[in-house]
Amino acid sequence: MAGLWVGEAALVTAGRRGRRWPQPLLRSAALWTLKHVPHYSRQHLVVSRSLCSAGYDSNEKTFDKILVANRGEIACRVIKTCKKMGIKTVAIHSDVDASSVHVKMADEAVCVGPAPTSKSYLNMDAIMEAIKKTGAQAVHPGYGFLSENKEFAKCLAAEDVIFIGPDTHAIQAMGDKIESKLLAKNAKVNTIPGFDGVVKDADEAVRIAREIGYPVMIKASAGGGGKGMRIAWDDEETRDGFRFSSQEAASSFGDDRLLIEKFIDNPRHIEVQVLGDKHGNALWLNERECSIQRRNQKVVEEAPSLFLDSETRRAMGEQAVALAKAVNYSSAGTVEFLVDSKKNFYFLEMNTRLQVEHPVTECITGLDLVQEMIRVAKGYPLRHKQADIPISGWAVECRVYAEDPYKSFGLPSIGRLSQYQEPLHLPGVRVDSGIQPGSDISIYYDPMISKLITYGSDRREALKRMEDALDNYVIRGVTHNIALLREVIISSRFVKGDINTKFLSDVYPDGFKGHQLSENERNQLLAIASSLFVASQLRAHHFQEDENSRVPIVKPQVANWELSVKLHDEVYTVVASNSGPTFSVEVDESKLNVTGAWNLASPLLSVNVDGTQRMIQCLSREAGGNMSIQFLGTVVAEGQEICVIEAMKMQNSMTAGKTGKVKSVHCKAGDTVGEGDLLVELE
């Protein structure tokens, strides 16, 4: 169960004492069962402190028009800052993205090809033509796609178009993990022991792994984002890891070269934001804690890190700046480190672009990183000195994905968003999104719905605001991971800061099952479900009382409603009575008072249970009375590999769940498959 799985709550019978009426089933789903739909909120891209304190000098001229070579939330994010700076924007889009939010936000839009990224967002010829057609003076690449492609940067330079990012030398040097590691060593940056050359084949991979000593990390030389990365603990896993990593690397980056280095067990993933200009200045803008990951991809980030002391923070920051200066870095960039339990830190890689998680740094520093990138690209020096960079408050980011968190902590889900409501009415909340009701989450692009960020004066306040924001986030139409996000940020280990990159597998060794109800939470759920059911019945009776009705309706005088409620496989007897907006509910020999506005047409219902405020969501209500609500947000293989599925360019090995013989195969290499499709039959 995801987030908070409360299972099924079934109201089997209801009525006055001594008289029982059959009633429909009331099912209580949970956060993880929510179907979601996005809501377009262009005015509210930033609601917290994060951009509010970043002023803009209208006399400081930069560009008249910028083309944004990306899509989705990051394209919207860049356009937002351009509008603030008085810069016109050009959006590019594939044919299926013609009605997307980033297209609507931009001043101009150009279609650059069909849905597949290789024919649209990676189509350099089409993008260059769009630049010429619109007269854009500069290009912001966002992240992903062409953001770290040196050939694209060279093409722009040849046409006297400014690339809003570092120069091609820095992109090439830091984009290649082998070269970047050698540069880091020369810049006196701590590095992980390993093999600095390119691994030629599986046999050489095994030989190198034995020399380094298991465990080892096999990873793509040219990539990032967790793609092309595998951990190997023995020779067999090294051979498999070489195969999968090279395939993912070729698919994602067009470069199948791999390297191998020592794997640091139970590390933290902590990164340092850097900012450099074209005048030799460079700053470090504090760190981000990014250890909560699945399949080497980040899920929850925060700034600053609870783990670092001021001395370690400064040492990491100074090494990050030393590396940036070694390649004359001029833009926003991120130096990633692995940090062990003794605060020893080792260079992992440098991302020469804006990071997905940049909003948490903006929140605690008050800087607009997109604005700084644009200024630097125009040639202005940095406006700040190192001593000017604060750590003010705390910020947390949750990546909200269209994923099923009950499958490997999140396998991509597709669908159309039918309803969407961001929790922007809450204090300290920022949502970076690029969707709207009716948007499709397709197989072609990353399944991210949004980045949900909360800011507080300290970590405790930021986490409490995140919990409330997740409870108030309405998404319908696709499976999503809010349940998992909510469980992570309230987990005792996370709250204490006892985390590492293996957090999810350590806390949920058998996979994510959703929230496990305490006895008090169970009783609250039963009381809320019963109150909601009775409220709906009373409303139905109200509508039946029509003074002009030809057939008189006799309203039953119900003082107490005796209900049988099924939760999971247990049946509970519940007695409910009401006085105005308050219901008194007897559950398991205890009495709870539930008060709410009971607006049954709203997707969100705020209720108070004996002084505890709870936000529930009405997910669905059928004509027959069946209801589904959200409360508190709710197979390990054996045998051999039977097929490999590529989802979002990640290779996923599907293994047999039991011993058996393959009866038939319903797919072939290269086929596109959807969730629930039959792939292989066993007998």
CA pair distance 47, 45, nearest whole angstrom: 7
CB 312 within 8 A of CB 304: no
Main-chain phi, psi angles of 610, to 5 degrees: 50, 45
Cβ pair 430, 453 in contact under 8 A: yes
Rounded Cα–Cα distance for residues 264 and 262 (Å): 6
Burial, 477: exposed, middle or buried (Cβ in 10 Å; 0-12, 13-18, 19+)?
Answer: buried
Is the separation of the CB atoms in 536 and 600 below 8 Å? yes
Sheet holding 216-220, edge to edge: 194-199, 258-262, 216-220, 229-232
Q: Is 569 exposed, middle or buried (0-12, 13-18, 19+ CB in 10 A)?
A: exposed
Instruction: Work out the number of other CB atoms within 10 angstroms of the CB of residue 444.
Output: 17
**Are residues 178 and 107 in contact, defined by beta-carbon separation less than 8 angstroms?**
no
Candidate list 287, 349, 403, 422, residue with the active-site label? 349
Q: Is 349 a catalytic residue?
A: yes
- On the CB side of 625, CA atoms within 13 Å amount to 20
| Secondary structure letter of residue 50 according to DSSP | H
Q: Is the preceding peptide bond at 304 cis, omega within 30 degrees of 0? A: yes
- Signed CA dihedral, 200, 201, 206, 209: sign only: positive
Looking at residue 576, its amino acid is A
CA–CA distance, 433 with 436 (Å, rounded to integer): 9
Q: How many CB atoms lie within 10 A of CB 544?
A: 11
Backbone angles phi, psi at 178, to 5 degrees: -70, -50
Cα separation, 646 vs 178, in Å, equals 26
How far apart are alpha carbons 475 and 41 in whole angstroms? Answer: 14
Buried b (16+ CB within 10 A) or exposed e, 29-57: bbbbbbbbbbbbbbebbbbbbbbeebeee
- HSE at residue 60, side-chain half, CA atoms within 13 A, is 17
- DSSP assignment letter at 97: G
What does the alpha-carbon distance between residue 529 and residue 627 come to, in Å, rounded to a whole number? 9
Q: Quickly list DSSP for 365-419.
A: H---HHHHHHHHHHTPPPS--GGG----SEEEEEEEESEETTTTT-EE--EE--E
Distance, CA of 338 to chain centre? 21
Cα–Cα distance measured from residue 209 to residue 228, given in angstroms and rounded to the nearest whole number = 17
| Strand duo 345-351 + 332-339: pairing | antiparallel
Task: Provide the token pair at 171.
Answer: 């992109």
What are 112-120's contacts with CB under 8 Å, separation 24+?
115/442, 115/444, 116/444, 117/145, 117/444, 117/445, 119/94, 120/92, 120/93, 120/94, 120/95
Tokens of 80: 């937002």
In the DSSP assignment, the letter for residue 80 is H
The residue type at 24:
P
How far apart CA 105 and CA 270 sit, in angstroms, is 34
Q: Which residues form the catalytic set?
A: 349
